[in-house]
Structure 1
C-alpha cells in the first residue's frame, strides 16, 4: 500500500444549510457556520480522527456538539448550539420539568443535558459510535449512576432536516438497547411559522391478538421493538395547534416510561395540553423575536 493511500483523508464538511464542500474542520469554518446553521455533516472521519476531535474540542472550546457519529460510514453529524437551537429544546424541557416538579417529582428528575453517550472498543478505546442529546432526563432513584441512559430525550432542529432527527431517534433506541423510552423531536420552521413535535417510542409491531398466539420459542423475535413515531403535533403561530393524532392536542409522556415505576398519590403522566403547548410556542417565538 502506498504511503498516500495509507494516510487518513482530511475531515471535510459535506453539507449544512449552505454547502461548503471541501472546507477543513477548523475554527474559521466553525465560526462561519455558527452564523448560518445549527447543523452540518463532516465526511472521512475515521475512528482515530474521531478520537482526536473528541479530545481536542474540549481543549480549545470549539462550539459544537456531536449530534451523531458512526464509524462504519465515517460520517460525523455536528450540532451548533445557536441561541435559536437552544431555546427550541430548553423551553420544552423546562415545561416538562415544571409539570413533574408540581407533582413533587423534582428531586427524582435528573437532567442529562448534552451528556455524551458512546460505544468504544474495550481494548483499543476506539470510538465506534457517539452521540449527545440536547435535553433529557433520567429517573434518579431508578438509574442513580451518572452515566445511565436517559428515559426521555429531546432533540431540536432548525436548519437540521427531519430525516436526520428521525435517524437520531433510531440511534437512541438502538444504542441504549431501548433503555431510552421516549424521544421528542422538535423542528422549528421559520418559513411557515410552525413548530412540529414528534413523539417516538420503541414499540412492538404485533397487535395483541397476534402476540397472544405466538409460541414461547418465537417470543423474542416476534415481539422485537421498532422505533415508531406514535404522535405528531404541529403548532402554527397564526392558526394555533393542529394535532395529527387522536389525542386532541395532548402530548402525553407516560409516567412509567419516564420514572420506571408505577405512579402513587397525585403522580400521573406528564400531559402537555393545548394551553401548555401554546405557552411553550409563545415563549419560543417571543424569545426569538419573530
Structure 2
C-alpha cells in the first residue's frame, strides 16, 4: 500500500507556499487568517493538518459543507440517544488530534465522536475518537480517502470508523462512504484491511445546496 504524504490526493489546483524564515511565515499566516476571517462566522472556515515543517490548510468552501456534517452528526446523535445518557455523548468537533502529545504531526476532523471511556478529564491530553466524519466537495474525494487512511494509521486502530461525505454540487447529491477497519484478529492483506460501504444520498433541500 502506497505510503501517505501530506500532499497525497490533493486537487490539481492546490497552492503551495514555501517559507525560508519564521518571520515570513508569521506574516503570511496572519494574512491567511485575516482572509479566512473576512466574513466572520458566515464562512471561510478551515481545517488544519501538519506534518513536521509542512502544514496543509483545507478551506471549508460553503455552508453545505457544514450542513452536511451537522445533519449526519444529528442523525447519529438521535440513534445514540436510545437508552443512552446525553452526558455520555461527546462530539469532538474539529479538535486537533496527534499520535502523541509531543508528535510533530496532527489533524483536525470536520467532526468526531469520542466514547465515554475515552473522554479526557481536566488537564488530560486529547484522546482519539472512535468515529470521524470528513466532508468535502466531489473534486477532493481522493484526498478524503487519504485522510481516512491517516486516521486509521496514526491512531493505530483507535479510530474504528471514518464516514466521508462528498458533496456533488452540480447534481445536488452527496456520496457517503463508510470506511471501517476489519475486525481484530481477522487475517487480511493490507489491501483488505479497510472495508468500505458506499451510498448516494438524493437531493435534500435542507442541506442548502445551491
TM over 0.5: yes
Structure 2 partner of 1:99 = 79
Deviation at 1:67, TM superposition (A): 4.3
- Alpha-carbon contact 1:153-1:180 (below 8 Å) kept: yes
Tell me how far apart the structure 1 counterparts of residues 156 and 79 of structure 2 sit (CA, whole Å): 28
How many residues in Structure 1 have an aligned counterpart in Structure 2? 188
Alignment of 1:24-43 (within 5 A): 41-43=15-17
TM-score, reference length from structure 1: 0.53
Tell me how far apart the structure 2 counterparts of residues 79 and 85 of structure 1 sit (CA, whole Å): 10
- Alpha-carbon contact 1:43-1:76 (below 8 Å) kept: no
Q: CA RMSD in A?
A: 3.8
Task: Provide structure 1 residue ranges, at least 5 long, that are not aligned to the other structure.
Answer: 1-14, 20-39, 212-221, 238-281
Tell me how far apart the structure 1 counterparts of residues 145 and 209 of structure 2 sit (CA, whole Å): 28
TM-score, reference length from structure 2: 0.71
Deviation at 1:131, TM superposition (A): 1.0
Structure 2 partner of 1:145 = 120
Deviation at 1:94, TM superposition (A): 0.8
Deviation at 1:184, TM superposition (A): 0.2
Q: 1:158 to 1:225 in 2, by over 3 A?
A: closer
Paired residue secondary structure (1:102):
coil
Structure 2 partner of 1:44 = 18
Paired residue secondary structure (1:196):
strand
Deviation at 1:108, TM superposition (A): 1.4
Structure 1 partner of 2:196 = 230
Q: 1:134 to 1:121 in 2, by over 3 A?
A: closer
**Higher RCO (CA-CA < 8 Å; seq separation 6+):** 2
- Alpha-carbon contact 2:64-2:209 (below 8 Å) kept: no
Tell me how far apart the structure 1 counterparts of residues 61 and 21 of structure 2 sit (CA, whole Å): 24
**Counterpart pick for 2:93 among 93, 108, 113:** 113
Larger Rg: 1
Deviation at 1:190, TM superposition (A): 1.9
Q: 1:193 to 1:286 in 2, by over 3 A?
A: same
- Alpha-carbon contact 1:68-1:168 (below 8 Å) kept: no
Deviation at 1:187, TM superposition (A): 0.7
Structure 1 partner of 2:206 = 286
Deviation at 1:83, TM superposition (A): 1.3
Alignment of 1:180-199 (within 5 A): 180-199=159-178
- Structure 1 runs of 4+ aligned residues shifted over 3 Å read 40-49, 59-64, 119-122, 222-227
Paired residue secondary structure (1:155):
strand
- Alpha-carbon contact 1:41-1:75 (below 8 Å) kept: no
